[in-house]
Amino acid sequence: MAAPIESKVTAATVMTFVVGLAVAVLNAVQADASLLGPLPSWLQAPLLALVPPALAFLAGYRARHTPRDVADPLAKGV
């Protein structure tokens, strides 16, 4: 039987999807230069690349740990 998916993994995955979708929307409206206009052009691409993993890390960090019944594998004779 497979273990349940850790809530931290789910939170980080969902956050990565949401932020990736937001970046895609930003890319779709690239004609609107006011969104990232104040930043220098050399900083815009690295910033957009760092946002999804940073928010995924924060979501995983803040999510509660999924409790598991951790049994001693040696007690079962495994």
CB 19 within 8 A of CB 52: yes
Indicate whether 34 belongs to any domain: no
Arithmetic mean of pLDDT over the chain: 75
Indicate whether 77 belongs to any domain: no
pLDDT number for residue 31: 59
Structural domain boundaries enclosing 45: 1-22+39-63
pLDDT number for residue 33: 59
Indicate whether 56 belongs to any domain: yes
For the CA atoms of 29, 23, 49, 44, what is the dihedral angle to 10 degrees? 30
Average pLDDT over every residue of 65-71: 70
How many structural domains are present in the chain? Answer: 1
What would the 3-class secondary structure string for 26-52 be? HHHCCCCCCCCCCCCHHHHHHHHHHHH
Q: Which amino acid is at 3?
A: A
pLDDT digit string (tens) for 9-33? 888 888 888 888 887 777 666 655 5
Indicate whether 58 belongs to any domain: yes
- pLDDT of residue 8 exceeding 80, the answer is yes
pLDDT number for residue 64: 82
Indicate whether 30 belongs to any domain: no
Q: Enter the pTM of the model.
A: 0.56
Indicate whether 72 belongs to any domain: no
Question: How far is CA 60 from each of CA 1, 63, 78, rounded to the nearest angstrom?
Answer: 24, 5, 32
